[in-house]
Structure 1
Amino acid sequence: MPATARYSHQLLYATVRQRLLDDIAQGIYLPGQQIPTESDLCTLYNVSRITIRKAITELVKDGVLIRWQGKGTFVQSNKVENALLTVSGFTDFGVSQGKPTREEVIEQERVSSDPFCERLNIAGNGEMFRLLRVMYLDNEPLFIDCSWIPLSRYPGFDQVYHAGASTYKLFQQKYDSRVVSDKKTIDIFTATKAEALRLQCELGEPLFR
């Protein structure tokens, strides 16, 4: 490729990259929202697919965008990512951000769950404490949390837990059990009517799960 052509391509991809950044900054593409397809962006910016792909790849490297195989490319949400990656508990996460946290308990019940018993290596059809909450950061709903706590390992947890209590701190203080690592599988799905109501978002809006 001639030097002039290579230079022209570099200028184009940098221009497209900056335009995408500007659109994100202006709220045209919101955190968690899917950006147009490569084909649509080619038409929008009147450039080649190679140029679009290069610009998107750079923004993915920068942590601005995230690709989900078979779904598309979405604007990254750092607030959600940080909250998901922390293993110190949501209350401590709020402290680290300098913002207050609170929760709204939707459901809490004792149930039996074979699939979760198997996943947690608990023999038999052990009883679980199921806790469904909406977690708020700075008085804004951030995510819906559904916890399954084995009562054979944490007897009486359903009695000592109360709304607003940090489950991580209860594990430490009542059961001398500390969470040192966890595993999360993150996917993107669209909000149902109930989820949209609880998270104060639009019906069908892309969400992390």
Structure 2
Amino acid sequence: MKLNSSISTPLYDQLKQIIKDSIFQEVYKQGERLPNETELCEIYGVSRITVRRAIQELTEEGLLDRKQGKGTFVMRNKLARELVSVDGFTDFHKHLGKNPSKRILVCEEIKATPTISESLHIAQNAPVLRLVRLMFTDDYPFILDETHYSLERFPDLASHFLENSSTYDVLKNIYKVKLNNSSTYKIITVIPAPGLEAEYLDCEIGDTLFNFDKIVYDENKVPIHTSNFKTRTDLIALTITT
């Protein structure tokens, strides 16, 4: 497709609109890499200067994301997450019509540290399940999650998690735990992505991440688990219903 140099609209503006239309029509899909500068020049019959200005302005408008050494990608729409909700990852994505999946990175028994024992109301050195998972939305890495559960309260928990997609389904159906939406303690900070987290979440070192530390309680206000999860700030919007 060639641009029209005989009209008053600058070529970079024409190219911007064509790329925008291609994004909205899903010719270029969310998360997909755009053709490189050379390819765009050939496709649209314009100079590198024109391509660079169009890409730069679309990046500033939040439609594109330039990643050093990787290329330019179509930005993904942010998923809205209710801040006070304790719904699990699987349930949350099913409500959105998304396809969730998980990969277990670590599943091991450890001894409760002073911090974990205080959070879970258990003795120091008591047996604890440490579970680290990478969670995907439509096959795209979305959350890096680390949780701790008391194995005295939830014996043989690891085998059930390995066999089931939803951890909260396991807790509800096998251990008969009832969650309490009003009793969830959260601390939310924004941090720069360390190297390992950047690798797992497909972002650059130093990109901003939401860092969630939370404790989830049952209906009797007894701690169920602690959780730390990290997700990119450009993928999620936090909402509060009052």
Q: TM-score, normalised by structure 2?
A: 0.53
**Correspondence 1:152 to 2:152:** yes
* CA shift digits 1:13-48 (9 cap, x unpaired): xxxxxxxxxxxx9442759x9xxxxxxxxxxxxxxx
**Correspondence 1:132 to 2:136:** no
Question: 1:178 offset after TM fit, Å?
Answer: 2.2
Q: Report the residue type matching 1:166 in the other structure.
A: S
Instruction: Write 1 or 2 for the structure with the bigger share of helix.
Output: 1
Structural mapping, 1:41-190, within 5 Å: 78-79=78-79, 82=81, 85-114=84-113, 115-162=115-162, 165-181=165-181, 182-190=184-192
> Do 1:83 and 1:93's aligned partners in 2 also have CA atoms closer than 8 Å?
no
Q: How far apart, in 2, do the equivalents of 1:193 and 1:26 lie?
A: 28
The size of the alignment, in residue pairs, is 140
Of structures 1 and 2, the one with the larger relative CO (CA 8 A, separation 6+) is 2
> Do 2:101 and 2:137's aligned partners in 1 also have CA atoms closer than 8 Å?
yes
* CA shift digits 1:37-82 (9 cap, x unpaired): xxxxxxxxxxxxxxxxxxxxxxxxxxxxxxxxxxxxxxxx952x50
**Structure 1, gaps ≥5 residues long:** 1-24, 34-76
Question: 1:158 offset after TM fit, Å?
Answer: 1.6
Partner of 2:208: 206
Q: How far apart, in 2, do the equivalents of 1:112 and 1:83 lie?
A: 33
Question: 1:83 offset after TM fit, Å?
Answer: 6.6
Question: 1:159 offset after TM fit, Å?
Answer: 2.5
Question: 1:165 offset after TM fit, Å?
Answer: 2.2
Question: 1:97 offset after TM fit, Å?
Answer: 0.6
Instruction: Write 1 or 2 for the structure with the bigger share of strand.
Output: 2
Q: Of residues 188, 193, 196 in structure 2, which corresponds to 1:194? A: 196
Q: TM-score, normalised by structure 1?
A: 0.60
Structure 1 stretch 189-198 or stretch 116-125: which is displaced more? 116-125
